[in-house]
């Protein structure tokens, strides 16, 4: 019998946390109770930013972390935040193919830090929020203060002429309410769950990047598992990944519908507007390829081959 | 909490003999580190105020102030740690040991110094390993500045090393001095604050 | 339940030997990790991670600001100005002292500096005018505790970091209860002057005196307005507000020629030392908190409440009793850092608002600051007045009762806390 400890920075009733519960339940069932997972949710043990190091050092067995948290050490890990690289759920699903070039390159890169990727957790596309008018043209970003989540999203804002201000998730609501920044940035479902629509009345469906979480396990620990255990873990991970991918698309569409149902003005981009945004954001893709080196280039090429 | 009057800290005079220099070195290091920390806190205030100015007046927020500020804060905390042991400024409950006979007070202080010294040595050992890993892997923070992580990790090792030295120095001096007098740190701070020149 | 009791007993035992709180938590946490065969890598991960948070930067800077103002003699200017307006009322000097505490609370993040700043000027004045010593000292010890309820507040910042809640919201949430406390205390001061006490009021100040005094105190009030107004208006984050506050405090005291080089160095040195002392407990508490989490202790506590205590109200009553007891002996930051991680899972499970709980917790810390044997504000006021501790303790009794009443009000009407952050 073996117990694995997992740290999650959100609550177990949040889709990302619930998905770890799905993994734990599946693993217990398929291993006939041989393997169990103890889940420590709500960042009781580690904040997201601490997870890469905590898992690599063996302080904790398994951790959930936003892929961008690796982007300091591995600039190419910011690939999910590169603007307009993932145009649709289909492209993401193809990129996630375990035998595909993108997935292999990405997971091997994360593995080089002593953390093996178990599965990906799609949380959905990221949108821009604003007050008074939708942001259909990139020129509307000129000179605006814009919430950024970190370096990769900051590069995007730079590229389109805005000024990035890094604001954490918990201060987001007040920053929008009080106008600390002019433009917000958030996943579609979070606009609903964090009540951001109360303070930002326009959601522009730019879908400019993805909030992609990855679940990582300590490399040495995984190597020490028996072949049977490895098979169980891998299978449970794939079950969890698939179930969330299906839910996420539905959840995001439901949130968008709910928002447009009298809670906010939801504006999709026309193909021409999208093209203008992509052109304006091009310098950020160049920055990514420059910082990410060969790996960055490989990842971008692998994605573009899937369009 | 924070004060400079000797509470459980150093007593009347220093121990004679060959240890003197080592002990003075430990004291000197603690004081120097605390002075550097004092400069840092001022720098933090100025750069963060500058950030707001840059954002509103120049509409050009900086990319570095939050990272540099946080890193300086970590440096100042751990640099000033040994001095807070030396000056007896740490928060502790003295209700029981405060009125104990001298032998007990000495034993209690010895126990405190042993635990602090022991934990500090363990911290230095474990953190050094972790820092080497960070450095060799080239870990960087995922922020705009992407500062290498070891820069904010080094002061923790340095701080605990100074603290271990200070605990050792105080432990050596313990039998040579009169038994420590425990004024609760709260009371000591209260006296200190109420006598502030103004 | 047994592990919970064993850990409690060990914490108490180590604290009683006089081992500093920071190292009691760090060493006990380490011991628990080793005992269960948990990875030692937890320790460096915690030591490296615990302070790496931009939000925490507000702590040293708010401390720096209050220390600069304390040494710059701002307390006198403030008190004189408020006194010129309300000093001639019955009980007016007591009210002036309370209002000064309230205003200074809006620039200071700590209760001790608030009590010290206002106490040094108000205690001699009230004594001179014939106020009973126990009343005077009790009023200032209790009024000083407003420092951590009215924003900015160091404990609310630390709570926000542990609970991952918005510091801005927590700050706004402290305003309502803070104003309520001042009102209740002020009514008491007026009533006890009207009935019983034969303290004299100060002579009514002339218009010219008022203008002069107000002009001198204006920069300080302005500082509070810029800082809190800036946070409220979204011009800057609480951390940035602390930096602006510290820089402005320096500018004001230098311009008024009330802060010399020596005083400045003293303020800086004190801020560094207090910061270190607080943060070392933060670091120790992180190791300890992680160890008890891995021992499932918070989960067990939540389970006990779930099975034996009916609902939110039962939880609030029991937690209040526990915190009142712990608060007799333990200093505020230690209370917060030890108890919040243990209680937070239950707070969430019961559906209590974590912002409300943070403010409620801080109110109980305020009470702890004035209950003997260990009460920081008691010591400060005792030292300022140079009177026996018993006199201060006697004086705080009615104030503790009023604070308990306010605590009950906050439990029955949580809107007092939650209206401002969610509706303004
Ligand atoms: Na305050
Ligand atoms: Na107390």
* Residue C102: per-residue pLDDT: 95
Give the span between the Cα atoms of C48 and A52, in whole angstroms. Answer: 13
Q: Do A151 and B60 touch (CB under 8 A)?
A: no
Mean pLDDT taken over chain A:
94
Nearest to A171 among C237, C293, C298 (CB): C237
Residue C384 pLDDT: 86
Does the pLDDT at position B198 exceed 50? no
Residue A79 reports pLDDT greater than 80:
yes
pLDDT band for C50, please (50, 70, 90 cuts).
Answer: confident
Residue B109 has pLDDT above 90, yes or no: yes
Contact C27 B119 (CB under 8 A): yes
Answer whether residue B185 is part of any domain.
no
pLDDT for the residue numbered A185:
96
A175: closest CA of chain C, how far (Å): 6
Instruction: Give percent above pLDDT 90 in chain C.
Output: 58
CA dist., res. C148 & res. A17, Å (int):
35
- Would you say residue B105 lies in a domain? yes
Q: Which residue of B has its CA nearest to A67?
A: B142
DSSP B63: S
Whole-angstrom distance, CA of residue A111 vs CA of residue C133: 69
Asked whether the beta carbons of residue B37 and residue C272 sit closer than 8 angstroms, the reply is: yes
Among A203, A186, A208, A195, smallest CA distance to A83 is for: A208
Which alpha helices (DSSP H) does C132-206 contain, by range? 133-144, 154-163, 167-194
Indicate the pLDDT class of residue B17, thresholds 50, 70 and 90.
low
User: Is C100 within 8 Å of C366 (Cβ atoms)?
Assistant: no
End-to-end CA distance of chain A, in Å?
A: 44
pLDDT band at B8 (very low <50, low <70, confident <90, very high): very low
pLDDT above 70: percentage of residues in chain C: 99
User: What digits encode the pLDDT tens for the residues B125-178?
Assistant: 999 999 999 999 999 988 888 899 999 999 999 999 999 999 999 999 999 888
Find residues 239-278 of chain C whose CB sits inside 8 Å of chain B.
Answer: 239-240, 242-244, 246-247, 250, 258, 262-263, 265-266, 268-278
User: In chain A, what's the furthest Cα-to-Cα distance?
Assistant: 59
DSSP B58: S
C230 reaches A (C-beta below 8 A): no
Portion 146-175 of C in contact with A at CB < 8 A = 160, 164-169
Ligand having the closest approach to the CA of C379:
2
Q: What subunits make at least 3 CB pairs under 8 angstroms with C? A: A, B
Kindly indicate the confidence band of residue A174, based on its pLDDT and cuts at 50, 70 and 90. confident
Q: Rounded to a whole number, what is the distance in Å from the CA of A59 to chain C's nearest CA?
A: 5
Indicate if the pLDDT at residue B5 is higher than 50: no
B127 located within any domain: yes
Say if B174 falls within a structural domain: yes
Q: Across the interface, which of C44, C234, C293 has its CB nearest the CB of A179? A: C234
Smallest-distance ligand from the CA of C328? 2
What is the pLDDT at residue B2?
Answer: 34
pLDDT confidence of residue B193: 61
Report the first-to-last Cα separation within chain C, whole angstroms: 43
| Owner of token pair 């950020």 | A284
How many A from CA of B153 to the centre of ligand 2?
36
**B46 domain residue, yes or no:** yes
Of C112, C236, C262, the CB nearest to B193: C112
Q: Across the A/B interface, how many CB contacts are shorter than 8 Å?
A: 54
Q: Is the pLDDT score of B11 beyond 50?
A: no
pLDDT of residue C360: 97
Give chain A's radius of gyration (CA, Å). 19
pLDDT tens-digit readout, A18-58: 999 999 999 999 999 999 999 998 888 998 889 999 999 99
For residue C224, give the ligand nearest its CA: 1
Q: Please check whether residue A153 is in contact with residue A164, taking contact to mean a CB–CB distance below 8 angstroms.
A: yes
Task: Answer whether B5 touches C (CB < 8 Å).
Answer: no
Residue B1 lies in a domain: no
Span C264-278, mean pLDDT? 90
- How far does the centroid of ligand 2 lie from the alpha carbon of residue C403, in Å? 14
Q: Among residues A89, A103, A80, which one has the least CA distance to residue A211?
A: A80
Q: How far is CA C310 from CA C195, C302, C307, in A?
A: 43, 12, 8
pLDDT tops 80 at residue A67: yes
Q: Which chains touch B (3 or more CB pairs under 8 A)?
A: A, C
Chains that touch A (3 or more CB pairs under 8 A): B, C
- Do A165 and A145 meet the contact criterion of CB atoms below 8 Å apart? yes
Interval C350-383: pLDDT, tens? 999 999 999 999 999 999 999 988 888 998 898 8
Say if C16 is an interface residue toward chain B (CB within 8 Å). yes
Nearest to C335 by CA among C291, C383, C296, C374: C374
Q: Name the pTM for this structure.
A: 0.89
Rounded distance between C-alpha atoms, residue C45 and residue C53, angstroms = 14
Pairing of strands A2-7, A202-218: unpaired
Name chain A contacts of C233, Cβ cutoff 8 Å: 178-179
Least confident of B183-197, C13-27, C46-60, C221-235: B183-197
On whether residue B50 sits in a domain, the answer given is yes
Confidence at C307, pLDDT banded by 50, 70, 90: confident
Question: What average pLDDT does the segment A120-128 reach?
Answer: 95
Q: Which residue in chain C has the smallest CA separation from B37?
A: C272
Determine contact, residues C110/C82, Cβ cutoff 8 Å. no
Q: Is residue B62 part of a domain?
A: yes
The tokens for A102 are 């993108």
| The pLDDT value given to residue B153 | 95
* Out of B59, B137, B142, closest to residue A150 by CB: B142
Nearest CA of chain C to the CA of A48: how many Å?
11
pLDDT at position A219 over 60 = yes
State the pLDDT confidence band at B7, using cuts at 50, 70 and 90.
very low
Q: Let me know: does A211 contact A126? Beta carbons within 8 Å.
A: yes
Could you say which of C45, C234, C290 has the minimum Cβ distance to residue A175? C234
Contact assignment for C18 to B84 by CB distance below 8 Å: no
Is residue C122 very low, low, confident or very high in pLDDT (cuts 50, 70, 90)?
very high
Interface test with B, best of C108, C236, C247, C277 (most B CBs within 10 A): C277
Q: Contact at 8 Å (CB) between A149 and A270?
A: no
Q: Is the confidence at residue A5, as pLDDT, over 50?
A: yes
Cβ-in-10-Å burial (0-12, 13-18, 19+) of C209 comes to middle
Residue C75 has pLDDT above 90, yes or no: no
Residue of B nearest to A50 (CA): B141
The partner residues of A213 in beta bridges, in order of sequence, read: A66, A121
**Which chain residues have CB less than 5 Å from ligand 1, an ion?**
C 105, 147, 150, 153
- Of C45, C27, C47, C24, give the one whose Cα is nearest residue C35: C27
Mean pLDDT of chain C: 90
Sign (positive or negative) of CA dihedral B92, B96, B102, B103 = negative
Predicted local distance difference test score (pLDDT) of residue B60:
79
- Pick from B39, B41, B76, B100 the residue to mutate for testing the C interface (most C CBs within 10 Å): B41
Among all bound ligands, the one having the nearest atom to the CA of C377 is 2
| Domains in chain B, number | 1
| Mean pLDDT to the nearest integer, A152-181 | 87
Ranges B25-29, C43-47, C62-66, C259-263: which has the least confidence: B25-29
CB-closest option in C21, C45, C380 to B190: C380
Specify the pLDDT at position B4. 34
Structure tokens given for C353: 């608002």
CB contact under 8 A, C348 and A42: yes
How far is the C-alpha of A195 from the C-alpha of A275, rounded, in Å? 30
Which ligand sits closest to the CA of C375?
Answer: 2
- What does the pLDDT read at residue A105? 96
Give the integer Cα–Cα distance in Å for B25 and B22: 5
Residue B146: domain span: 23-179
What integer pLDDT is reported at residue B185 of this predicted model? Answer: 54
Q: B112 in contact with C at a CB cutoff of 8 Å?
A: yes
Note the ligand closest to the C-alpha atom of C370: 2
CB distance C44–B126 less than 8 Å? yes
Instruction: Calculate the CA A9 to chain-centre distance.
Output: 13
A154 close to B (CB below 8 A):
yes
C191 touching B (Cβ < 8 Å): no
User: Does the pLDDT value for residue B79 go beyond 50?
Assistant: yes
More confident call, A229 vs C110: A229
């Amino acid at each position: 019998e073996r117990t694995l400890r997992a740290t999650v920075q959100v609550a177990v009733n949040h889709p990302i946390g619930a998905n770890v519960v799905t993994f734990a339940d599946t693993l217990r069932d398929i291993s006939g109770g041989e393997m169990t997972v103890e889940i420590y949710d709500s960042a009781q043990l580690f904040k997201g930013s601490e997870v890469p190091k905590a898992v690599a050092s063996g302080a904790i067995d398994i951790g959930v972390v936003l892929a961008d948290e690796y982007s300091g050490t591995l600039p190419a890990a910011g690939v999910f935040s590169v603007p307009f690289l993932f145009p649709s759920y289909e492209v993401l699903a193809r990129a996630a193919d375990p035998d595909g070039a993108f997935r292999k390159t990405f997971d091997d890169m994360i593995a080089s830090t002593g953390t093996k990727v178990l599965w990906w957790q799609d949380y959905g596309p990221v949108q821009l929020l604003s007050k008074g008018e939708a942001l259909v043209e990139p020129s509307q970003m000129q000179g605006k203060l814009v919430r950024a989540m970190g370096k990769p999203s900051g590069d995007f804002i730079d590229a389109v002429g805005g000024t990035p201000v890094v604001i954490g998730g918990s201060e987001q609501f007040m920053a929008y309410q009080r106008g600390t920044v002019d433009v917000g940035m958030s996943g579609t479902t979070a606009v609903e769950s964090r009540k951001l629509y109360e303070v930002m009345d326009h959601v522009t469906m730019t879908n400019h990047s993805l909030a992609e979480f990855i679940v990582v396990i300590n490399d040495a620990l995984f190597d020490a598992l028996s072949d049977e255990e490895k098979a169980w873990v891998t299978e449970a991970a794939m079950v969890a990944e698939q179930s969330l991918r299906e839910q996420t698309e539905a959840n995001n569409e439901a949130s968008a519908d709910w928002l447009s149902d009298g809670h906010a003005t939801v504006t999709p981009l026309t193909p021409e507007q999208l093209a203008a945004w992509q052109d304006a954001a091009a310098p950020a893709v160049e920055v990514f390829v420059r910082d990410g080196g060969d790996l960055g280039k490989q990842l971008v090429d692998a994605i573009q081959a899937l369009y | 909490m924070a004060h400079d009057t000797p509470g459980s800290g150093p007593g009347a005079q220093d121990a004679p003999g060959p240890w003197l220099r080592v002990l003075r070195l430990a004291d000197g290091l603690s004081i120097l580190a605390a002075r550097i920390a004092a400069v840092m806190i001022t720098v933090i205030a100025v750069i963060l105020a500058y950030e707001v100015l840059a954002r509103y007046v120049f509409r050009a927020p900086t990319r570095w102030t939050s990272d540099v500020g946080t890193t300086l804060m970590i440096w100042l905390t751990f640099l000033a740690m040994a001095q807070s042991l030396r000056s007896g400024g740490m928060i502790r409950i003295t209700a029981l040991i405060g009125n104990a006979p001298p032998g007990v007070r000495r034993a209690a202080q010895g126990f405190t110094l042993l635990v602090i010294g022991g934990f500090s040595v363990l911290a230095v050992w474990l953190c050094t390993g972790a820092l080497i890993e960070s450095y060799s892997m080239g870990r960087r923070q995922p922020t705009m500045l992407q500062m290498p992580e070891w820069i904010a990790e080094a002061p923790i090792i340095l701080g605990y090393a100074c603290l271990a030295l200070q605990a050792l120095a105080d432990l050596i001096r313990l039998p040579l001095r009169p038994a420590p007098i425990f004024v609760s740190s709260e009371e000591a701070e209260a006296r200190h604050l109420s006598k502030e020149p103004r | 339940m047994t592990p919970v009791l064993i850990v409690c007993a060990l914490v108490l035992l180590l604290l009683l030997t006089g081992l500093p709180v920071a190292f009691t938590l760090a060493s006990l946490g380490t011991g628990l990790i080793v005992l269960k065969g948990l990875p030692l890598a937890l320790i460096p991960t915690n030591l490296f991670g615990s302070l790496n948070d931009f939000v925490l930067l507000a702590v040293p800077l708010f401390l720096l600001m209050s220390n600069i103002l304390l040494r710059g003699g701002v307390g006198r200017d403030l008190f004189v100005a408020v006194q010129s307006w309300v000093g001639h009322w019955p009980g007016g000097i007591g009210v002036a002292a309370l209002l000064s505490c309230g205003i200074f609370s809006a620039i200071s993040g700590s209760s001790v500096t608030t009590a010290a700043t206002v106490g040094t000027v108000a205690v001699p004045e009230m004594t001179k005018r014939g106020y009973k010593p126990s009343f005077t000292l009790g009023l200032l010890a209790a009024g000083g505790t407003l420092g951590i309820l009215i924003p900015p507040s160091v404990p609310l910042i630390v709570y926000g970091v542990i609970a991952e809640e918005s510091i801005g919201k927590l700050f706004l949430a402290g305003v309502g209860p803070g104003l309520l406390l001042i009102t209740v205390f002020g009514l008491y001061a007026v009533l006890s002057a009207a009935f019983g006490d034969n303290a004299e009021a100060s002579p009514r100040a002339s218009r010219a005196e008022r203008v002069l005094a107000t002009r001198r105190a204006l920069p300080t009030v302005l500082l509070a307005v810029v800082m809190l107004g800036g946070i409220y208006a979204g011009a800057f984050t609480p951390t940035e507000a602390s930096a602006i506050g510290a820089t402005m405090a320096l500018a004001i005291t230098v311009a008024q020629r009330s802060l010399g080089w020596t005083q400045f160095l003293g303020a800086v040195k004190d801020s560094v030392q207090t910061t270190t002392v607080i943060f070392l407990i933060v670091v120790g508490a992180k190791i300890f908190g992680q160890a008890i989490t891995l021992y499932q202790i918070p989960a067990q506590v939540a389970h006990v409440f779930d099975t034996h205590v009916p609902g939110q109200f039962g939880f609030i009553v029991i937690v209040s009793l526990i915190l009142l007891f712990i608060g007799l002996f333990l200093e505020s930051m230690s209370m917060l850092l030890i108890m919040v991680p243990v209680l937070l899972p239950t707070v969430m499970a019961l559906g209590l608002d974590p912002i409300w709980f943070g403010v409620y917790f801080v109110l109980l810390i305020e009470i702890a600051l004035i209950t003997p044997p260990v009460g920081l504000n008691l010591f400060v006021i005792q030292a300022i007045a140079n009177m026996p501790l018993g006199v201060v303790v006697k004086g705080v009794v009615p104030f503790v009762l009023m604070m308990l009443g306010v605590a009950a009000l906050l439990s029955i009407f949580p809107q007092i806390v939650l209206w401002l952050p969610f509706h303004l």
